[in-house]
Structure 1
Amino acid sequence: MVSEQLRTGGIDVVATYEPGGCEIGKRIREILLDKSFQQMAPLTELLLYNAARAQHLAEVIVPAMDRRAVVITDRFTDSTLAYQCYGRGLDERLVMEIDKAATGGLRPDMTVLLDLAPSVGLGRNKDAKKIDRFELESITVHEKVRTGFLELAKREPARFKIVNASADTAVVTKTIVAAIEERLRCR
Structure 2
Amino acid sequence: MQPQFITIEGGEGVGKTTNLQLIESLLKQNRIDFIVTREPGGTPFAEEIRELLLNKRQEAVDPVAELLLVFAARKQHVEQTIKPALASGQWVVCDRFTDATFAYQGGGRELGFELIEQINQLALAGFKPNKTLLLDVDPDIGMQRAAKRSELDRFESEQMAFFERVRAAYRQRASDDAERFMVVDAGQDLVNVQTDITTVFQEYIDGVTHD
* TM band (smaller chain): over 0.9
% identical aligned pairs: 37
Distance 1:182 1:38, change over 3 A: farther
Distance 1:149 1:24 in 2: 27
Q: 1:150 to 1:175 in 2, by over 3 A?
A: same
Number of residue pairs the alignment of both structures matches: 187
* Partner amino acid, structure 2, of 1:113: L
2:96 aligned partner: 75
C-alpha distance in structure 1 between counterparts of 2:190 and 2:34, whole Å: 20
Provide, for residues 78-108 of structure 1, a one-character-per-residue CA deviation record: whole Å limited to 9, x for no partner: 1111111111121422211111222221111
Match among 125, 137, 142 for residue 121 of structure 1: 142
Q: Aligned with 1:105: secondary structure?
A: coil
C-alpha displacement at 1:16, in angstroms? Answer: 0.9
Where in structure 2 are the equivalents of 1:140-159 lying within 5 Å?
140-159=161-180
Sort the Cα spacing of 1:5 and 1:170 in 2 relative to 1 into closer, same or farther, 3 A: farther
Q: Structure 1 residues 63 and 51 mapped into 2: Cα distance closer, same or farther (>3 Å)?
A: same
Runs of 4+ in 1 over 4 A off after TM superposition: none
Residues 129 and 43 of structure 1: is their aligned pair in 2 closer, same or farther, counting only changes over 3 Å?
Answer: same
Equivalent of residue 27 in structure 1, options 48, 51, 66: 48
| Aligned-partner Cα distance in 2 for 1:72–1:109 | 10
* Greater RCO, 1 or 2 (C-alpha within 8 Å, sep 6+): 2
Task: Give the alignment's TM-score, normalised by structure 1.
Answer: 0.92
The residue type equivalent to 1:172 in the other structure is V
Structure 2 alignment gaps of length 5 or more: 1-20
TM-score by length of 2: 0.82
Long gaps (5+) in structure 1: none
Distance across 2 between alignment mates of 1:10 and 1:169: 25
Q: What SS class does the counterpart of residue 36 from structure 2 fall into?
A: strand
Q: What is the Cα deviation at residue 76 of structure 1? A: 0.8
SS state of the match for residue 204, structure 2? helix
Amino acid at match of 1:128: R
State the distance in 2 between where 1:170 and 1:13 align. Answer: 25
What letter is aligned with 1:158?
Answer: E
CA root-mean-square deviation: 1.6
